[in-house]
């Protein structure tokens, strides 16, 4: 009987020790959670400050445009009155000229030609000012962000575009006729902001890709942001992939491409991956892009992991829509601030 009591006592002691260790673990997790929350609060505060700064810049731009419009309108009115006065003077001079002696005909003709030239100059000035005035009146802050989506064939570009637009109308893949068009544009509004997604033809690791023909379909100045779609996981970076990125950097310049770029890993299942694996991917691709930038710019691309699986006319993983909202907000800020 005494042995049984001793055994129970030992078990109680072991439980006490385990409880103590568990309490320490819980306290550490609470501290870690507090630190994460504090970091998130700091990030949110910084984002709010950036947004406030941008709103102030927008307000100042609107005031400058308004003041400039008023000045142009004043110039326009003054020029119009000046032209009217000149016109009246010209009419008066022409009447006086008609009554002069015919012997003065040549001099009168020269004088009329000079008057005609002056009138033409005044009209040209007025037209120029009117055009400038019209241009300033239609100046508006940019409301549409044009995003081009690149990636390898089968990476999930089209499905990603449908997921972002919450498009459930068709199956999970559209067979675009890429033999006749290399891009497909779709507009949508999300979070009160207008976007346009430009879905592009993918490259293959074993096929030839006609870059000149491809870029003929893309207006470089039209593109605001780049999304590179990669099927998760992707631990091997192929030569074809490097070639494709190098051509994009060359076409759009490192400053344009590398500062307006995010990478989206699709087909992501958290239960099948570890956080350290994601960190390795982020580190490898960040190094790759910085090496390709050739020290011209320090690249810090954004990375997102999503799953856009589609089944029975619905998206399976709706929880990743929050990630998409964060991504679109980051894109807007990048386009507005840089």
Q: What is the pLDDT of residue 105?
A: 62
H helical segments located in 99-199: 105-137, 157-165
Q: Is the dihedral of CA 274, 279, 280, 282 positive or negative?
A: positive
pTM over 0.75: no
Contact in structure between 258 and 299 (CB atoms under 8 Å): yes
In terms of average pLDDT, the best of 19-23, 115-119, 135-139 is: 19-23
Q: What is the mean pLDDT of residues 309-313?
A: 79
> CA-based diameter of the chain, in Å?
149
Give yes or no for residue 1 having a pLDDT over 80.
no
163 pLDDT band, cuts 50/70/90, is very high
Q: Is the pLDDT of residue 265 over 90?
A: yes
Give the Cα separation of 131 and 138 in Å (integer): 11
- Asked if pLDDT for residue 244 goes beyond 80, the answer is yes
Cβ-based neighbours of 294, under 8 Å, separated by 6 or more: 254
Contacts of 143 (CB under 8 A, 6+ apart): 193, 194
d(CA 197, CA 188): 8
SS3 call for 224: coil
Tens digits of per-residue pLDDT, 180-213? 456 788 899 988 889 999 998 888 877 777 788 7
> What CA–CA distance (Å, rounded) separates 144 from 224?
9
Mean per-residue pLDDT, 80-102: 67
Question: 198 with 148: CB under 8 angstroms?
Answer: yes
Q: What number is the average pLDDT over the span 61-78?
A: 75
Q: What is the overall mean pLDDT for the chain?
A: 78
Compute the distance between CA of residue 52 and CA of residue 63 in angstroms, rounded to an integer: 16
Confidence at residue 183, expressed as pLDDT on a 0 to 100 scale: 77
| pLDDT for 304 | 94
Q: Which range is least confidently modeled, 57-61, 152-156, 180-184, 303-307?
A: 180-184
User: What pLDDT shows up at residue 140?
Assistant: 44
pLDDT (tens digit, 9 = 90+) per residue, 165-180?
Answer: 988 765 444 444 444 4
Tell me what the mean pLDDT of segment 301-311 comes to.
Answer: 89
Q: Is the pLDDT of residue 306 over 80?
A: yes
Handedness of CA 153, 330, 186, 164 (dihedral sign): positive
Beta bridge mates, 305: 265
């Amino acid at each position: 009987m005494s042995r049984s009591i001793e055994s129970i006592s030992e078990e109680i002691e072991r439980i006490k020790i385990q409880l103590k260790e568990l309490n320490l673990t819980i306290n550490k997790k609470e501290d870690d959670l507090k630190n994460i929350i504090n970091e998130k609060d700091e990030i949110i505060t910084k984002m709010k400050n950036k947004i406030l700064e941008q709103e102030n810049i927008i307000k100042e731009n609107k005031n400058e445009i308004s003041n400039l419009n008023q000045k142009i309108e004043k110039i326009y009115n003054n020029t119009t009155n000046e032209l009217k006065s000149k016109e009246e003077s010209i009419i008066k001079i022409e009447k006086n000229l008609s009554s002069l002696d015919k012997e003065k005909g040549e001099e009168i003709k020269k004088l009329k030609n000079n008057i005609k030239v002056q009138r033409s100059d005044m009209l040209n000035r007025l037209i120029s000012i009117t055009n400038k005035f019209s241009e300033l009146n239609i100046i508006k802050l940019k409301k549409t962000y044009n995003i081009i989506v690149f990636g390898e064939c089968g990476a999930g570009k089209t499905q990603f575009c449908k997921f972002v637009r919450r498009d459930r109308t068709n199956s999970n893949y559209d067979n675009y006729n890429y033999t006749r068009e290399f891009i497909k544009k779709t507009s949508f509004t999300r979070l009160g902001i207008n976007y346009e997604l430009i879905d592009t033809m993918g490259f293959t690791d074993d096929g030839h890709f006609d870059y000149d023909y491809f870029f003929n379909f893309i207006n470089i100045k039209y593109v605001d942001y780049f999304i590179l779609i990669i099927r998760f996981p992707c631990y091997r970076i192929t030569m074809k992939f490097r070639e494709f990125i190098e051509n994009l950097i060359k076409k759009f310049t490192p400053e344009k491409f590398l500062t307006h770029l995010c990478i989206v890993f699709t087909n992501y299942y958290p239960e099948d991956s570890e956080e350290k694996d994601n960190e390795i991917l982020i580190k490898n691709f960040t190094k790759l892009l910085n090496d390709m930038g050739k020290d011209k710019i320090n690249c810090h691309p954004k990375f997102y992991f999503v799953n856009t699986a589609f089944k029975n006319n619905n998206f399976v993983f709706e929880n990743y829509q929050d990630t998409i909202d964060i991504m679109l907000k980051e894109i807007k800020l990048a386009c507005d601030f840089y």
